[in-house]
């Protein structure tokens, strides 16, 4: 690596071996797959609504007329099939796996679509889990996908690193909540993307506020929003605030996430459309 390396291979003209090393980790898809853009959804810590945002973004892009897919890389906590109300299992064909289609036609692959019982825990160590993610990318038939959304596990561990290194990410969307934003955890995820030369498309502050249904007053349950500050600091134009909305939790539980409006995510969806 050059002494002056800033880990910005796409804009650097230096002919160094670091670029080759990074590219060598990329895993090829199979001959039946074609994925145009891959977007990672990341969060610093668990439970902030990463799967919800993944589902809303995928549904939003699908409603705009694009063939959309979700790769659920959250192997130990796969919640995507439940949010979409998918009960059937993925089928195999010629040693390859076929994704299951949602009602809108989103192609979905998740561990819960191949294990017999959806409550069976994935008691595997990091390298095995990372390998499953690679297999989901390489061995599932992703036919003519315009946009694939990857629901990553929280943090900056083994599996997020595998996704960053093995999949050709066009960018990431960072999901956070107001209280988490003040911590350094989000910064770690953003810095990880920077080191891997992957741009941040946008920030989503979930559970940003609660709007009283009686008086329309907004309450900052988890503290004041800091999303604008954060976006400015990292020079990211697109950001979104999603309120705490009990009907959304219900839609997730009832497998009806595709019926939820994605009005809060317009800016980010526009940005994704222009990638
Ligand atoms: N803005 C919101 N309003 C109401 N419920 C929400 C909201 N955001 C998330 N939830 C609910 O909180 C729960 C956790 O959300 P979700 O599974 O998306 O989090 P996650 O960050 O993906 O979690 P993990 O990292 O553990 O996979 C879900 O039941 C979801 O429906």
Q: How far is the CA of 47 from the centre of ligand 1 (A)?
A: 6
Any atom of ligand 1 within 6 Å of the Cβ of 199: no
Q: What is the pLDDT of residue 10?
A: 47
The C-alpha atoms of residue 220 and residue 179 are separated, in whole angstroms, by 10
Q: What is the pLDDT of residue 24?
A: 72
Q: What is the per-residue pLDDT across 221-263, written as a single tens digit (0 to 9) for each? A: 988 888 898 889 888 989 999 999 999 999 999 999 999 988 9
ipTM for the assembly: 0.95
Q: Tell which CATH architecture fits domain 32-273.
A: 3-Layer(aba) Sandwich (3.40)
Any atom of ligand 1 within 6 Å of the Cβ of 165: no
Rounded alpha-carbon distances, angstroms, from residue 31 to 54, 161, 175, 192, 259: 26, 25, 33, 31, 34
Domain residue spans of the chain: 32-273
Low-confidence ranges of the chain (pLDDT < 70): 1-23, 180-184
Q: What is the pLDDT of residue 46?
A: 83
User: Contact, 265 vs 257, CB < 8 A?
Assistant: no
- Which of 141, 148, 133 is CA-nearest to residue 69? 148
Length of the chain, in residues: 275
* pTM score, whole prediction: 0.91
Q: What is the pLDDT of residue 21?
A: 53
Q: What is the pLDDT of residue 63?
A: 97
- Using DSSP's 3-state secondary structure scheme, residue 40 falls into strand
Q: Which atom of ligand 1 lies closest to the CA of 54?
A: 18
Number of neighbouring beta carbons within 10 Å of residue 272:
24
DSSP state of 239: E
Q: How far is the CA of 12 from the centre of ligand 1 (A)?
A: 39
Distance between terminal CA atoms of the chain? 29
């Amino acid at each position: 690596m050059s002494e002056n390396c800033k880990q910005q291979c796409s804009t650097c003209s230096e002919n160094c071996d670091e670029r080759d090393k990074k590219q060598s980790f990329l895993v090829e898809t199979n001959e039946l797959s074609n994925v145009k853009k891959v977007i990672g959804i990341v969060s610093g810590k668990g439970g902030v609504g990463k799967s919800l945002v993944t589902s809303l973004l995928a549904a939003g892009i699908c409603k705009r007329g694009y063939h959309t897919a979700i790769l659920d890389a959250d192997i130990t906590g796969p919640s995507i099939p439940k949010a979409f109300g998918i009960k059937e299992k993925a089928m195999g064909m010629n040693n390859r796996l076929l994704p299951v289609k949602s009602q809108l036609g989103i192609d979905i692959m998740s561990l819960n679509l191949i294990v017999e019982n959806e409550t069976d825990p994935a008691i595997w160590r990091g390298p095995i889990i990372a390998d499953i993610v690679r297999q989901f990318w390489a061995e599932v038939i992703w036919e003519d996908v315009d946009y694939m959304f990857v629901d990553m596990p929280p943090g900056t561990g083994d599996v997020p690193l595998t996704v960053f290194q093995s999949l050709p990410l066009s960018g990431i969307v960072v999901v956070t909540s107001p209280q988490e934003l003040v911590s350094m955890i989000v910064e770690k995820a953003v810095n990880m993307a920077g080191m891997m030369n992957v741009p941040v498309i946008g920030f989503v502050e979930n559970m940003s506020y609660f709007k009283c249904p009686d008086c329309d007053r907004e309450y900052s349950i988890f503290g004041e929003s800091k999303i604008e500050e954060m976006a400015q600091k990292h020079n990211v134009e697109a950001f979104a605030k999603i309120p705490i909305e009990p009907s959304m939790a219900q839609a997730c539980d009832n497998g009806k996430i595709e019926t939820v409006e994605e009005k809060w995510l317009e800016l980010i969806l526009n940005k994704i459309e222009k990638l």
